[in-house]
């Protein structure tokens, strides 16, 4: 992870009570934040049935073919009390608009937006790209450690300008974002705009992170190094496995996240490909959010 010491730290709330008492529900800023001790959610996840399910997922997900190929993966978290866990996770984010506009979505899209997913990042995972199709999402990390840098679409375009990158007519916005993030280096932080709108956090187990709409990420898993008598490499890899839960949220018009997604959608409209599904997906979400 490059020059993380220079990057602005995400807002961190030490406890759930701090999160509830602060002005974190600002509906216009769309800033990422972390809660180090989401006590109520942690208590739920410690319930025997949920804890057992998490351990099973921790064992099962790494065996998926896509995880073997990309070191990342997810699957629906199917436990009896998943609705409770999902609702509690969503209540810890800025006002989630999904339930207000659910009647405007197809059943398939609504399922995509509301499904609570178990996620995994394997040993030596390095990822850079758009966050969850540009939609807001809340992560509750249950195992492992990873470093996360977040940057929104406005600043992605500034990165592109810094490196002389332009998007090809047949290149989708998510692919363009990956190229911009791959070029991201320490010199970009000399730009005040980029520096002031890029955020970093070293995320540990039992922490929760909210990522607004319109953000992309650069992240990697971290293996804790041991000294004399250190654990075997295989054991270190197992312990480095990052496991968590994730659910989407949407922000309303007027928020910076909504404006970023709107700008991404407008840029995607001109992509010359046979099936511009990303553009249609974003258009549907934005139309539902517009009064």
Domain positions in the chain: 4-222+235-289
Class of domain 4-222+235-289: mainly beta
- Closest alpha carbon to 7 in 202, 149, 159: 149
* Mean pLDDT on 98-122: 88
* Mean pLDDT on 235-251: 84
Q: Which of 31-35, 62-66, 182-186 has the lowest mean pLDDT?
A: 62-66
* Mean pLDDT on 40-67: 87
Residue 157 and residue 257 in contact, taking contact as beta carbons nearer than 8 Å: no
DSSP code for 284: H
pLDDT at 17 over 60: yes
pLDDT at 7 over 70: yes
């Amino acid at each position: 992870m490059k020059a993380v010491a220079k990057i602005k730290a995400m807002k961190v709330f030490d406890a759930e009570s701090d999160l509830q008492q602060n002005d974190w529900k600002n509906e216009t800023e769309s800033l990422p934040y972390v809660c180090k001790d989401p006590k109520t959610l942690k208590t739920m996840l410690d319930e025997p049935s949920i804890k057992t399910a998490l351990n099973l997922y921790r064992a099962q997900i790494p065996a998926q073919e896509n995880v073997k190929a990309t070191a990342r993966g997810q699957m629906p978290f199917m436990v009896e009390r998943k609705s409770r866990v999902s609702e509690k996770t969503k209540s810890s984010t800025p006002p989630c608009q999904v339930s207000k506009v659910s009647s405007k979505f197809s059943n398939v899209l609504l399922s995509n937006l509301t499904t609570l997913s178990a996620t995994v990042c394997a040993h030596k995972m390095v990822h850079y790209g758009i966050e969850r199709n540009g939609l807001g999402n809340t992560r509750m990390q249950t195992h492992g450690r990873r470093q996360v840098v977040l940057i929104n679409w406005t600043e992605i375009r500034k990165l592109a300008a810094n490196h002389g990158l332009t998007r090809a007519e047949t290149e989708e916005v998510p692919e363009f974002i990956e190229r911009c993030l791959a070029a991201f280096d320490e010199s970009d932080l000399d730009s005040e705009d980029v520096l002031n709108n890029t955020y970093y956090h070293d995320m540990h187990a039992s922490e929760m992170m909210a990522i607004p709409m319109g953000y992309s990420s650069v992240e990697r898993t971290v293996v804790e190094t041991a000294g004399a008598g250190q654990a075997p490499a295989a054991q270190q890899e197992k312990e480095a496995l990052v496991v968590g839960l994730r659910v989407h949220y949407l922000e309303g018009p007027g928020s910076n996240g909504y404006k970023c997604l709107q700008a991404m959608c407008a840029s995607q409209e001109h992509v010359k490909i046979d099936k511009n599904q990303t553009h249609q997906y974003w258009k549907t979400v934005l139309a539902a959010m517009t009064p």
